[in-house]
Structures are given as C-alpha cells and as structure tokens.
Chains A and B, each alone.
Chain A
Amino acid sequence: MDSSDVLLEARGICKDYGPVRVLFDVDFSLRRGEVHALIGENGAGKSTLVKILCGLIPQTQGELTYKGQPWRPLGVSEAERQGVVMIHQEFNLAEDLTVEENIFLGRELRKGWLLDRRAMRRLSREILAELETDIDPTARVRDLSVSQKQMVEIAKAISRKADVIIMDEPTAVLTSHEVEILFKVIRRLVQSGVSIVYISHKLDEVKEISQRVTILRDGHRIATEPTEALSADEMAVRMVGRSLEDMFLPKTPPPEVQPVLTVRDVTVPGFAYHCSFELYRGEILGFAGLIGAGRTELFEGIFGLRPRAGGFVERAGRPVEIYSLKDAINCGMVYLSEDRKGKGLITLMELAPNLTLMSSVREAGFWLRRREELQELERAIGEYDIKAPSLRSLVAELSGGNQQKLALAKVMAIDPQVIVLDEPTRGIDVGTKQQIYQFIHDLAATGKSVVVISSEMQEIIGLCHRVVVMRSGRIAGVLSGDDITEEEIMLYATGVKGAA
C-alpha cells in the first residue's frame, strides 16, 4: 500500500467509558478519494471510532494523523474547519431554521455586516439540485420528511467543501431511489478527491459503493480488505464471528391457544395506524422494522403513554381500558423503554430507589421501607447478576450492561405477565447480551409472554417465535417458523411485500 496517499489515519485507538473498554487497539486508514466502508454489528464500536475521528469524543489511547500531521481537533467545529465532516445518524439540524439557514449554519456568507441571503439561497439551490431533490431552500426543516432531512444533512456536508465525509448509516431512512442518487453523489465526490467513511449495516450497499472495507467486532478490528476480495456472506460471517447457536437457545414455540394480549385496530395518531396482533402465553414476539416505523410509539400508545385513537385491547380475553401506565401495570403489563437514560433509570439516584420506583406505585403505604428496598436490591443483584461498586452506588457508576439489567429488574419487580422490551440490548456488551437473551428465553419458558422490539436482525431472528414487521406505522406482515429470515423481514420492512 502506498502510504503517501493516506489522508486520515488512526493507530492503536482505545476508548474506555469508565471501567468498560469499547475499542481495543484499532487501526484505520483512509486514502484520498476512496470510499472506505466500516461495518460491524450494533455495539461493535463503529460509531465510537468515527466520533473519535471527527473530534466529537477523545480517544483514551492511540494516535491520529490527518494530512500527515498529528490530528487532535478540539471538537466538531474545528474538525469541520479542517475539512472533516460527519453526517450523524441522529440529525444535527436546527429544526426551526430553514433549509438554507441550516446548510450555512455557523459559516454564513456576508456582504459587509449583513447576511448575503441571496448568495446563500443560490448556492443552496445549486447543491440541492446536484442532489436531485426538490427540497425548497426556504422550507423549515421541521416540516421535512426524515429522508429529506437526511438529504439536507448531506447537502450541508457537501457545502462545507469537506475533504473527509463520515456517513453514519446514511441510507437507513432513504428510499431505494434516494439511495441511488446518494451513490451518484458519492461517486462524484470521490472523483473530485473527497474521501468517505461509510458506515452501514447493508452489505449489498457496501459491496456496491466502497473500495475497501474494515470489519469491527466487539471493539476489535477484525479485518481491512479490498471490497472485491470479500463476498457479502464472508463479511457477515466475519462481522458476527460466532454462529447464532452460541448466542441463542433453541426455540420452542408455544401452542397458540388463548392469546394473553389481543390488540385490535389500534391507532396512535402520527405514528401507527390500525395495528392488530396477538401475543400468546409463553411466546417471544418480535417487532421488526426500519427506524421510524412506529414500533415504539405503537407500544407507548398501547401502554397509555401516548394518546391513542380507536381500537381496543384485550388482556387474556377480557377487554381492558388502559389510559395510563398505571392501568397497564394493573393489567400485569410492563414496558421497558429503549431510552435507558432518558426514560428508564434516574442516573443520579442510587440503585435501590431506582429498582423500586415502579413497583412502589402499587403499594398502599405512606412511608418508605428503606431496609426492605436494600434487601430487594441485594436479591436483584444476585438474580440479575448486576455488578455494582457498592449497594449505595449511583446508577451512573454502573456500566451500560449493568444499568440495563437493573432496568430489567425494575420492571420485573411488579411481577408482570406481559413484558415489552424495546431494544433490550442496545449499546451493551456481548456477554451481557447473551445473559439477557437467556433471561428472555427463561421468561417465555415459565409461561410469561415477551415482546421484543429490536432493530438488530440477528436478535429478532435468533430469539423470536413470531415476528411482526412494521412499515410506516402499519403492520406489513407477520412471519413465523422458517419464514423468519433477514431477507423476508427486509422485504416487508421496505414495502416490497405486504400491504402498504
């Protein structure tokens, strides 16, 4: 390899979050004018690595070089000035500003003391035209669709005249036509000497657009190869690195006798429309779909956390009226949010109050029972294998995996029969993942019913007896048995199969 054309290089990068190491001695190099794909499972460390590359977070160990100089940007804005721009998965747009104001945010064109609106509008139009989108530069970003926002993000990156563009799952929310346009733009950028780091789950896209591919697994770099040297299957095997049997226990689908939960025609305005499904005793029911398909919002609606319009819910054959989370809990149902720190746990509180926060709502007593809380914590620590510095630790002092186990213990403390877990293994290490899979399996084996909402294909495929696929707020299809494959799920999730 000719090292002279390497633009951005990372050597021996390690990253620790508290006691947890998420990147181990990772090397990465980006040549001038190449598309370098970065692939790996969720939690493999892709996002962490690129956040380090673009100055969003500092590495714990290791060195970066950019254009032959040591590279240590003090934050994103400096990195952008030097030509390293990241397009985030979660958009980084000011929702109340217009498209053109966003594109030029922080480097507005001026005529003397005043903004040169005319020039900015003209340039915005040019860039948007290049992207073959009909987005109006004067539209408010808030009013755009998700895929339009993605296009604005891309336009913003292009307008910064970047040398390095890092794209984190840019096609997750794009239609296939928009993906084609994006690829055209990428090819044009690469020809003009721009280098692109391309993170994606979609291996066929990686095959199509990238010249080299780096595979990460559990924070380690597994391989860096020319893309044509690897087939999509070989990439998948190296990404996973272990067979599914290691992670998941054999499934034993329950008999579909009497549903414990029947949802009929439920609509959550703005998010989910006319959704119907059943959940059986002892079943693990998966909810798959693209981000923004309305899975989380559907269940928040069912649990009374969001306004619901129409439809009804039966619990074990009896109609139930659920208008608040407390009603749902009284029906023996719990929901564990995907947003562990935002909705699941109070990170600056101790463990015991967090553990009992939900179950205490059902108690009648006026006084707290601190001693019993601590006993309950000790029991949960044993049962869920929670590793905490001490009984009086704050939640913030726990690793992500242990926080998730505590969150699980918290909702299980009400002894529910129906358990809805939203992205139960997001951002946690493989060991803990396996424990959580085992736990979900055991729940079903003891006759409880579990819904797993997950964007991780493997998890859905390895764990669930049946899979409901949602697309744009509607249930596109229900898969069971041997039909539960990545291809089938994607066909329904992207609208090739199933009712619109």
Chain B
Amino acid sequence: MRSTPMAQETPRTAHLMWGRLTALGPLIALIALIALGAAINPTFLSVANLTNVLSRTAFIGIIAVGATLVIIAGGIDLSVGSMAAWIAGSMIIIMNRLVPATGTGWITILIGMAVGLLLGMAAGLVNGLVSTRGKIDAFIVTLGTMGIFRSLVTYFADGGTLSLNFGVRATYRPVFYGALLGIPIPVLVLIGVALLGGLLLNYTRFGRYCLAIGSNETVARYSAIPVDRIKTLTYVFQGLCVGIATILYVPRLGSASGTTGLLWELEAIASVIIGGTALKGGSGRIWSTVVGAIILSMIGNILNLTSAISQYLNGAVQGIIIIAAVLMQRGVRKGE
C-alpha cells in the first residue's frame, strides 16, 4: 500500500527553510578551514600570513563580485581573465607613452587607471550587447571575446612581455603593496567593491531585476522588466570590476603578457559557486562569493604550510571543494 498521507508534499516547505539556513554554509566552511590551518601550523594565524592571503584574494574576489551579479541574472562571463590581461597591457602601453608628456607621477597613473576602468566597462558592454541584441548564448559570446582579448595582449606584446616604465612603477607600487591603518589597500578595495555589489544586489531595483531575470526570464519579460538592458548592465558592472582588479594588479608585477590573468575566469566562477550562488541564476549573495574566494586562496596557503599534502595538489583540493559545494546545493534545491 502506498498511502502515506501528506508525506509527498510537505517536505517542500521544510526544504525551503533549510535552504535559508544553509546560507551560512560557506561561512561555516571558512571557519572550519581557518581552524584546520591553525591546527596545522601556528604561523597560519599570523597577521602577516592572513593579510598576505587576503591581498592575493583581492583580484579574484573583486572579479567574482561582478561574476555573482552576471550569474544571478542568468548569464556567464568567461572573458574576465583575458579581459584583465588586455586591460593591463593597454594600461601599460598608454602610461609608457604618457611618460614623456606627463612624467612618472600620479597624473600618468590616474589617466592609466581611468583608461583601465573605461576599457573594462566598454568590454563588458560589448559582451552584454552582443549576447542580448544578437541573441547569442553568453557562454559562446564570452568564449569568443576571451580568445580575442588574450590574443590582443599577445599581439601588443609581440609575443613577449609588456613592462611598465620603472619610474611609473615606483610611484604606482603602493597601490598594491601599501596599507591603510594596517589593512592592505587591495583588501580595502575588495571590501569596497563587495559593499557596492551587495548594495546593488539587495537594495536597488537593478538587483531585484537581476534576481527576477535569473529566476525566470519569461516572468520578468511578462512583468515589463527591460530584460536586455538589465542583463547588459550586469556585464558592464563585471567589466568595471575587472578594471578595478587590473588597476591593483599592474603595480604588483609591473608587467603584462599573454599569460596574465590565466584561468582567472574559472577561479572567479568557482568562488561564486562555492559561495552558494546557483549557476542557473536567480539567487545568490555577494558576501558568500567573497568568502568563496577566500576559501579558494586559503586552500593554497594551507597546503603551502603543511607537508601532509603536496602543494602541487592545490588544484585537486580546490576541485573537490567546488564539487562538494555544488552537491550541498543540490540537496537544498531538491525541494523545487
């Protein structure tokens, strides 16, 4: 006999509530990871080590904030790593050309930064417009631009490396290596970008529309939401985030080449996924993405501090974490 009264339907509500509770999942995972790190090696908890980890998280973290909005609205952007390389190369070329006119001071650098931000937004605009107006899957469009951006920087560098003028480099250096009140500038910028992303997502109509489009694009269309414009804007914001990350990246090495920002897109998407944002869109949180990015770079850091597992297995451990995160999400989403 198969008479199980009510049992078939009631778990839905329970599932939804559990879903709200597991929002804390990434944070719990991070705390566990910190505890593990501390147990393995006491230097893990040192201020120097933690600020180092967080500074290195900044690039991916900032880009992942943008990726969160893109993915929440049902899109994907594979071009961010190449875009960062292209922007870095372009910034270096322009700043080097400016040196004779404006010197090696802050004017040159500020112009370079402005160019970086504008290029990022322009690249995002192209990604967004081509996929919405051209009705091409964002995966394909950004796969295409990924190749284009990477090839452009290789072409600019003539297959080699573009190096920033040494005078400019000296002035620019503190933007990555400096600190304010003991907090590294990249970390401060990451916090700022995350706050901006959180504000956009949770407190503006734009964010609400992103969630609506990602949940059900047809309903959004039948609610008179300008779907194409909102989606395009998510790519512009993503481009802006890449621009900001690149501004921080250029003073770190002072150079750019065909391998700059390699696989950043995958790390950014992985951060979003570990943070619990569904790849199919419709829900997600900015702070969890940042936590996801920290988890990713912390794994590498802990592997460096221990001899139990080879650090060459960094990618394997990260991969396991990503798959585990999605499996946990699946458990939550079965209720749908």
- CB contacts (< 8 Å) of A358 on chain B: these are 223-224
Surface stretch bound by A, among B72-80, B151-159, B209-217: B209-217
- Interface status of B310 (Cβ within 8 A of chain A): no
The answer to whether A348 and B283 touch across the interface, beta carbons within 8 angstroms, is yes
The answer to whether A18 and B9 touch across the interface, beta carbons within 8 angstroms, is yes
* CB neighbors of B among A339-375 (8 A): 342-349, 353, 357-358, 360-361, 363, 365-368
B336 in complex: contacting residue of A326, A337, A348, CB < 8 Å: A348
Known: A343-B218, A397-B16. A58 touches B8 (CB 8 A): yes
The answer to whether A325 and B224 touch across the interface, beta carbons within 8 angstroms, is yes
Q: How many B residues touch the partner, as a band?
A: 35 or more
B221 to chain A, nearest CB (A): 7
B161 to chain A, nearest CB (A): 43
Surface stretch bound by A, among B62-70, B200-208, B266-274, B317-325: B200-208
The 0/1 profile, CB within 8 Å of B marked 1, for residues 314-330 of chain A is 00000000001110110
- Interface status of B331 (Cβ within 8 A of chain A): no
The answer to whether B203 and A60 touch across the interface, beta carbons within 8 angstroms, is no
- CB contacts (< 8 Å) of B221 on chain A: these are 305, 325, 343
The answer to whether B208 and A324 touch across the interface, beta carbons within 8 angstroms, is no
- CB contacts (< 8 Å) of B9 on chain A: these are 16-18
- Interface status of A62 (Cβ within 8 A of chain B): yes
Assembly CA distance A288 to B10 (angstroms): 38
Known: A18-B9, A368-B208. A345 touches B3 (CB 8 A): no
* CB neighbors of A among B152-206 (8 A): 202-206
- CB contacts (< 8 Å) of B4 on chain A: these are 60
- CB contacts (< 8 Å) of A59 on chain B: these are 2-3
The answer to whether B3 and A349 touch across the interface, beta carbons within 8 angstroms, is no
Assembly CA distance A18 to B10 (angstroms): 6
- CB contacts (< 8 Å) of A72 on chain B: these are 2
| Tally of A interface residues using CB under 8 Å | 43
The answer to whether B204 and A345 touch across the interface, beta carbons within 8 angstroms, is no
- Interface status of A185 (Cβ within 8 A of chain B): no
- Interface status of B219 (Cβ within 8 A of chain A): yes
- CB contacts (< 8 Å) of B306 on chain A: these are none
* CB neighbors of B among A171-217 (8 A): none
Assembly CA distance A18 to B2 (angstroms): 17
- CB contacts (< 8 Å) of B13 on chain A: these are 389, 397
The 0/1 profile, CB within 8 Å of A marked 1, for residues 271-288 of chain B is 000000000001100000
- CB contacts (< 8 Å) of B10 on chain A: these are 18
- Interface status of A63 (Cβ within 8 A of chain B): yes
- Interface status of B222 (Cβ within 8 A of chain A): yes
B336 to chain A, nearest CB (A): 7
A363 to chain B, nearest CB (A): 7
Assembly CA distance A347 to B336 (angstroms): 9
Known: A17-B9, A366-B205, A368-B203. A63 touches B3 (CB 8 A): yes
Assembly CA distance A403 to B86 (angstroms): 49
Known: A345-B219, A348-B336, A361-B225. A60 touches B8 (CB 8 A): yes
- CB contacts (< 8 Å) of A63 on chain B: these are 1, 3
B5 in complex: contacting residue of A61, A367, A410, CB < 8 Å: A61
A-contacting residues of B (Cβ < 8 Å)? 1-6, 8-10, 12-13, 16, 202-208, 211-212, 215-216, 218-226, 282-283, 336
Which 8 residue pairs across A and B have the least CB separation, nearest first? A325-B224, A358-B223, A343-B222, A357-B223, A61-B3, A346-B215, A326-B224, A361-B224
Interchain Cβ contacts under 8 Å between A and B, 7 examples: A14-B5, A60-B8, A61-B3, A63-B3, A343-B218, A361-B223, A394-B16
In addition to A343-B219, A361-B224, A366-B205, 6 A-B residue pairs with Cβ atoms within 8 Å of each other are A18-B9, A337-B222, A348-B283, A358-B223, A366-B206, A396-B16
